[in-house]
């Protein structure tokens, strides 16, 4: 019975020690974040990243009086800036960012406010101000130029509008974002005008087709959507076509060797496949653009003789995997760099 009580005591002591250790780690992380936030404030004033860092630090270290005092200081400063801006008739992007920082400062703090009964937020003022800010943001977006600007500028505007809309979720702003996203989205197709007659040539084209199927509808970033393989698609303002042409496709032997172990004989061949050529992009937005490429990969083939039976590696299968992987990487990481549209 005494042993059972002792074991229980040890278990409780271990749990308490573990919890205290975790609490100390959390507090240390929070204090570091608060210190970092204060450094940001001292060097750049009130900023989005500094405010988020401060609130995150308070979440980890809710007993930090330094952090509490810093939040109250920034809250009053940001609120005063908001009050001055709301007196204006016209608003710049800098004003929009300052108003958005006000929303962020309170909305993000609301997620952890129950830990800080001493911090008083004027929620009546916040709710009234939020209505006014929503109207200001919507008017700003509606008046902003959307037609006679470049694709890159439209994408910058989309990102800016999303940031504006994070804490207000305006239907007007959401609709504008959707229209712009539809406007800038590019459908990217690949094909190949290469005509080869060897088994390796056929394998090359089939591997490109398979890699395209594996990545169909992949978002390549910057509103470029990969739509797969097409023998040839007439390009337009929304559809871009990239033609693969291969100038060199060959394999060569690097090394051969033979190993004999008891009843087993093993032949090993190290080989290398090399593929080079170019891809050419067609669109109505710019003149055809060409980029040359080359890749190579080493691989090993084995033939094993054992008990009057011979076992071969499937070279075609090995090459197929190599080519599919190479083409997949080109599709995922390289093709979007060809599209340089203003």
Task: Give tens-digit pLDDT for 55-89.
Answer: 999 999 888 899 999 999 999 999 999 999 999 99
pLDDT of residue 309 exceeding 90, the answer is no
Rounded mean pLDDT, 131-146: 95
> What is the pLDDT of the chain when averaged over all its residues?
89
Dig out the tokens for 4 from the structure.
């059972």
**pLDDT the model gives residue 161:** 97
pLDDT of residue 341 exceeding 80, the answer is no
User: What are 177-184's contacts with CB under 8 Å, separation 24+?
Assistant: 179/146, 180/146, 180/154, 181/223, 183/154, 184/151, 184/154, 184/155, 184/158, 184/223
| Cα angle 259-264-266, degrees, rounded to a multiple of 5 | 35
**From the CB of residue 9, how many other CB atoms can be counted at a distance below 10 Å?**
10
Rounded mean pLDDT, 322-326: 97
Task: Say which residues have a Cβ less than 8 Å from residue 312's Cβ, sequence separation at least 6.
Answer: 301, 302, 303
Average the pLDDT over each of 4-13, 41-50, 66-75, 285-294 and give the range with the smallest value. 4-13
**pLDDT the model gives residue 62:** 87
pLDDT of residue 248 exceeding 50, the answer is yes
**pLDDT the model gives residue 258:** 86
Reported as a pLDDT band with limits 50, 70 and 90, residue 12 is low
Reported as a pLDDT band with limits 50, 70 and 90, residue 15 is low
pLDDT of residue 16 exceeding 60, the answer is no
Reported as a pLDDT band with limits 50, 70 and 90, residue 20 is very low
CA neighbours closer than 13 Å in the CB half-sphere of residue 287: 1
pLDDT in tens, 182-232: 999 999 999 998 888 889 999 999 999 999 999 999 999 999 999 999 876
Rounded mean pLDDT, 83-98: 96
Please answer whether residues 156 and 181 qualify as being in contact, where contact means their C-beta atoms are separated by less than 8 angstroms: no
* Cut 0.95: pTM above it: no
CA gap 220, 235 in Å, rounded: 19
**pLDDT the model gives residue 191:** 92
> Order of strands across the sheet with 224-229?
218-219, 224-229, 186-192, 239-261, 264-282, 289-306, 309-312
pLDDT in tens, 146-178: 889 999 999 999 999 999 999 999 999 999 999
Q: Which is more confidently placed, 42 or 19?
A: 42
Reported as a pLDDT band with limits 50, 70 and 90, residue 3 is low
**pLDDT the model gives residue 342:** 44
Reported as a pLDDT band with limits 50, 70 and 90, residue 238 is confident
pLDDT of residue 19 exceeding 50, the answer is no
Average the pLDDT over each of 103-107, 164-168, 256-260, 282-286 and give the range with the smallest value. 282-286
């Amino acid at each position: 019975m005494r042993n059972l009580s002792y074991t229980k005591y040890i278990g409780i002591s271990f749990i308490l020690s573990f919890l205290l250790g975790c609490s100390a780690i959390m507090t240390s992380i929070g204090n570091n974040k608060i210190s970092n936030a204060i450094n940001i404030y001292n060097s750049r004033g009130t900023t989005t990243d500094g405010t988020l860092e401060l609130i995150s630090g308070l979440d980890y270290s809710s007993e930090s009086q330094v952090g509490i005092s810093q939040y109250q200081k920034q809250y009053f400063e940001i609120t005063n800036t908001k009050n001055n801006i709301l007196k204006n008739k016209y608003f710049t992007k800098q004003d929009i960012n300052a108003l958005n920082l006000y929303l962020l400062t309170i909305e993000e703090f609301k997620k952890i406010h129950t830990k800080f009964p001493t911090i008083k937020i004027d929620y009546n003022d916040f709710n009234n101000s939020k209505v006014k800010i929503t109207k200001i943001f919507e008017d700003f977006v509606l008046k902003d130029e959307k037609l006679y600007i470049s694709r890159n500028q439209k994408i910058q505007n989309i990102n800016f509008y999303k940031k504006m809309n994070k804490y207000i979720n305006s239907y007007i702003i959401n609709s504008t974002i959707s229209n712009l996203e539809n406007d800038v989205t590019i459908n990217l197709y690949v094909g190949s005008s290469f005509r080869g007659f060897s088994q390796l040539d056929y394998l090359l084209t089939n591997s490109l087709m398979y890699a395209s199927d594996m990545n169909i509808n992949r978002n390549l970033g910057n509103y470029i959507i990969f739509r797969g393989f097409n023998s040839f698609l007439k390009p337009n303002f929304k559809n871009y076509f990239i033609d693969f042409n291969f100038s060199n496709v060959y394999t060569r032997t690097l090394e051969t060797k033979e190993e004999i172990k008891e009843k087993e004989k093993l032949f090993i061949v190290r080989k290398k496949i090399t593929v080079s050529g170019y891809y050419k992009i067609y669109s109505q937005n710019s003149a055809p653009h060409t980029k040359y490429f080359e890749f190579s990969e080493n691989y090993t083939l084995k033939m094993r003789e054992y008990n009057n039976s011979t076992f071969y590696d499937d070279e075609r299968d090995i090459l197929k995997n190599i080519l599919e992987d190479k083409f997949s990487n080109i599709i995922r990481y390289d093709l979007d760099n060809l599209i340089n549209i203003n």
